[in-house]
Amino acid sequence: MRAWSVVETGAPLQALDMPTPEPKGSEVLVEVTHCGVCHSDLHIWEGGYDLGSRGKLSLKDRGVVLPLAMGHEIAGRVAALGPDAKGVAVGEAKVVYPWIGCGKCERCAADEDNMCPNQARTLGIYRNGGYATHVLVPDAKYLVPMDGADPAVAATYACSGITVYSAIRKLGDIPPDRPVVLVGAGGLGLGAIHMLRALGHRRIVSVDVSAEKLEAARKAGATETVLAEGDVTAAITAACGGPALAVIDLVNGSATARFAFDALGKGGTLVQVGLFGGEITVPLPIMAIRALALQGSYVGSPSDLRAVMALAKEGKLSPLPVSTAPMDQAGAVLERLRDGKVTGRVVLRADAA
């Protein structure tokens, strides 16, 4: 197989020829047709995460080994089966759940692989992912039927789709006309707008530094938009008609987390999703006096992916705006994403498509 791989941190990707894996046991070999390019790929490419005063989290220290074919938003066709693989047939079109855990712990047994406390087997991070012609999946249970969905869009559901779905669920049972604030109008932000509308929400406030991205947010269904300049907290409060009770920070940097926290009203919840980096200092008495909740949210579970695909099949989930690029342009797409020149999502298109 051919894989467009990180060989050196921060250096251009290289096209490498590798042996095509042969599935064993319950493994399934998938021929990749599409793979989304995610902001998380930038962190992997750059080698770590900014932890503010706690320094930088090195992915090398976390067990990431180079060379690595990134890519965890994968759609493709089943190419070969291990002798113990069940419930899937060669040629079927599938979306791949990539956040694979150890497969042995209590969380994995509960269908919560993304919460596995042990060494993860995430595709595109700890194992070669979708920036390649083929990907080896440990078990057919991590494959979800495409059900006629556009594979370029369906691929994004394996990360951005389940990430926003899981984050929205953490807000609890909120009335459809209560404003939900989304910080960030990139690929995740637009996906969250579509997901909120699919789940019946009618008040969506989008916040971003880019007027162009806010225009895309309005077209996607945001009812109010806030340009993040000046007193952003006051602007969010005005857009909501009062302090916010539901905020999802899809950027989650020091600045965004601060103004998002400050915009919360009594009983408000801030769900922190993005991995931009940094930290905030929280006034502890305010946490208690306002009964505030800070909740982290990390991607989603296999059941979340099945739920998202069901929403798409039922026609409730509008397709996320995506553009495609040939797989061999993966490096150029990463650079565009790094430079803030991507609106929506870019999905790599393999020759097998």
**42 lies in some domain:** yes
Does 148 lie in the same domain as 120?
yes
pLDDT in tens, 164-192: 999 999 999 999 999 999 999 999 999 99
* φ, ψ at 127 (rounded to 5°): -135, 155
Does 181 lie in the same domain as 96?
no
Beta-bridge partner residues of 141:
none
Does 311 lie in the same domain as 292?
no
pLDDT at residue 104 in the model: 92
pLDDT in tens, 124-170: 999 999 999 999 999 999 999 999 999 999 999 999 999 999 999 99
| 28, 30, 36, 38 alpha-carbon torsion, rounded to 10° | 30
pLDDT at residue 61 in the model: 84
**Token pair in block for residue 54:** 């706690």
Does 236 lie in the same domain as 137?
no
- pLDDT over 90, % of the chain: 92
DSSP class of 329: G
**Domain's final residue, options 251, 277, 296:** 296
Boundaries of domain holding 217: 171-296
What letter represents residue 66's amino acid?
L
pLDDT in tens, 22-43: 999 999 999 999 999 999 999 9
Beta-bridge partner residues of 224:
205
**28 lies in some domain:** yes
**240 lies in some domain:** yes
Does 126 lie in the same domain as 73?
yes
pLDDT for 119 beyond 80: no
**Three-class DSSP category at 136:** strand
Does 147 lie in the same domain as 241?
no
pLDDT at residue 63 in the model: 87
75: closest CA among 24, 135, 23, 120?
Answer: 135
CATH number of the domain that residue 214 is part of: 3.40.50.720
**165 lies in some domain:** no
Angle (CA) 173-175-176 rounded to 5° is: 115
244: closest CA among 219, 278, 271?
Answer: 271
Does 216 lie in the same domain as 292?
yes
Does 319 lie in the same domain as 206?
no
**195 lies in some domain:** yes
Task: Find where tokens 């929403």 sit.
Answer: 311
* φ, ψ at 47 (rounded to 5°): 95, 5
What is the phi-psi region of residue 184: left when phi exceeds 0, alpha when psi lies from -120 to 50, beta otherwise?
Answer: left
pLDDT for 88 beyond 90: yes
162: closest CA among 277, 47, 317?
Answer: 317
- How many structural domains is the chain composed of? 2
pLDDT in tens, 236-274: 999 999 999 999 999 999 999 999 999 999 999 999 999
pLDDT in tens, 292-305: 999 999 999 999 99
Does 8 lie in the same domain as 89?
yes
Task: Find where tokens 């890519």 sit.
Answer: 71
Name the CA radius of gyration of the chain, rounded: 20
Q: Which ranges in the chain belong to alpha helices (H)?
A: 39-46, 106-109, 151-156, 162-169, 187-198, 211-220, 232-240, 254-262, 284-289, 302-313, 330-338
The pTM is what?
A: 0.95
245: closest CA among 303, 205, 305, 297?
Answer: 205
**Domain's final residue, options 296, 322, 341:** 296
**Domain's final residue, options 296, 324, 339:** 296
- Evaluate whether 208 touches 184 at the Cβ level (below 8 Å): yes
CATH number of the domain that residue 57 is part of: 3.90.180.10
Does 311 lie in the same domain as 286?
no
pLDDT in tens, 300-345: 999 999 999 999 999 999 988 899 999 999 999 999 999 988 888 9
Whole-number Å distance between alpha carbons of 303 and 309: 10
Does 322 lie in the same domain as 204?
no
**163 lies in some domain:** no
**135 lies in some domain:** yes
Show Cβ contacts of residue 164 under 8 Å, excluding neighbours closer than 6 positions.
188, 191, 192, 195, 248, 250, 273
SS3 letters across 196-210: HHHCCCCCEEEEECC
Does 30 lie in the same domain as 143?
yes
Whole-number Å distance between alpha carbons of 338 and 41: 10
**Token pair in block for residue 304:** 């979340």
Confidence of residue 62 (pLDDT cuts 50, 70, 90): confident
**164 lies in some domain:** no
